[in-house]
Amino acid sequence: SAFSFKGKNTTVSEIGNALNVRTVLEGSVRRSGDRLRITAKLVNAEDGYQLWSERFDGEMKDIFELQDEITLVVIDKLKVNFLSKEKAAVLKRMTDNPEAYEYYLKGIYYRWKLVPEEFGKCLKYFQLAVEADPKFGMAYFGVASYYGYGTAWGLVDMPPSEGWAKAETAINRSIEADPTLPEIQLTLAAFDLVNRRKFNAAGEAIRREVSANPDFAEIHHAHAFYSLVTGSFAEAIDESSQALQLDPLSVNYSRFLGVSFLFAKRFDEAIEQFHQALELEPNNPNVLEILAEAYSHKGLFEDALNARFKAAKFEGDSEMAGIIENNIDDFEGAVRAVALKQIERMNMKLATGEFVLAIHFVRAYMMLGDNDQTFEWLKRAVEERNVFPLLMNHDPFYDRLRSDPRFQESMEYVGCNSQGHREV
């Protein structure tokens, strides 16, 4: 969250309010060749009063020693009393290689850009981090998260079976380097839930990690997702809220809180939350698309089309934006035209040997009202090990299919039924 303020003319008070903190650590780094000069200061967020300031000099090869020195001074100035175990955790280094660490940070930045073109860039940096330090456990985790998270959410252009196999190889290397990382346990839980569909095992693992690492936002986010899959909407909203409280500038956590409201059919709150997410990132197409869905559930069709138009525009899809604009006064006509164009594009990809997620065909044929084609593609969609079949049982988008026995058969195959989930 803190990095989002870089280069912006934001006051310390505004930063403190946004991050819900009382004290802000400011710093600057000057580099001349291999020499570093780091200036750090602690500032009271309420009144801007400078509590402490100090300059640290060293060489690039000593960057992690400087980091530890600054950390210990800050702990002392804040009068934080850590147990020895807690202090060791704070000072724990992921790598001693500055170059590897820099590549890793760049990978993490792109890892949270949840559109395929941006997300895809993270793999290059994680692989460079591995090359720079072959013992860097979090770098292997980064590679695993690219394939695992990317496969789970349809962000990588490969069949799920291939994506999960690559993710498993990388996570095993990460375990060899550092089996204690909570990120690894979280990834293993995702394997159980999404790839193996072992709902109980995944739930137990996630709850253990929440208890062990209550201040880790991504674990609360994972718990929120698991709660949506199992239909525990109140828990999903609570866990999403906790993730967002821990990382208040995460557009992804903000969006997912809105999704939790959407699944609970609290559409007004969902719309409000999506607008809060757009305040963080006004041009985010993922938020705009799900906002359009929430508007549709409320019968606000003009607003829905406007949100869809903006999403297409910000994705650089001028053709789709034009289709929506040409049908802006005809919601049903716009939906049909968009669906036909999506199907045309997907069939062209299939014809050239590209992989296309079956769930995209399911949604497009639903938009056309073609139930036979919808269920034909649904048979394929439930075979693919990603998040989408898991979410269908409670996603209001699919409500009109629920009375059809073919839908219930599909949910039974995934491991879902009207009573909940079972191991498959």
Which of 1-5, 174-178, 313-317 has the lowest average pLDDT? 1-5
Residue 186, pLDDT > 50, answer yes
Say yes or no to pLDDT of 197 above 80: yes
Q: What is the pLDDT of residue 401?
A: 96
- Could you tell me how far CA 396 lies from the centroid of its own chain? 21
Q: Is 52 helix (H, G, I), strand (E, B) or coil?
A: strand
Q: Are 188 and 209 in contact (CB under 8 A)?
A: no
Domains contained in the chain, CATH given: 2-93 (3.40.50.10070)
Tokens 């208890």 correspond to what residue?
211
User: Lowest-pLDDT range, 2-16, 18-32, 75-89, 260-274?
Assistant: 75-89
Residue 23, beta-bridge partner list? 44
For residue range 90-116, what is the model confidence (pLDDT) as tens digits? 545 678 888 999 999 999 989 988 788
- Give the type of residue at 257: L
**Beta carbons of 192 and 198 less than 8 angstroms apart:** yes
| pLDDT of 9 strictly over 80 | no
Which residues have C-beta within 8 Å of that of residue 187, sequence separation ≥ 6? 141, 144, 145, 148, 167, 171
How far is C-alpha 53 from the chain's CA centre?
36
> CB–CB of 185/220 below 8 Å?
no
Provide the token pair at 307: 């949100």
Q: What is the pTM assigned to this prediction?
A: 0.85
pLDDT exceeds 80 at position 423: no
Neighbouring CB atoms inside 10 A of 375's CB total: 20
pLDDT in tens, 310-320: 999 999 999 99
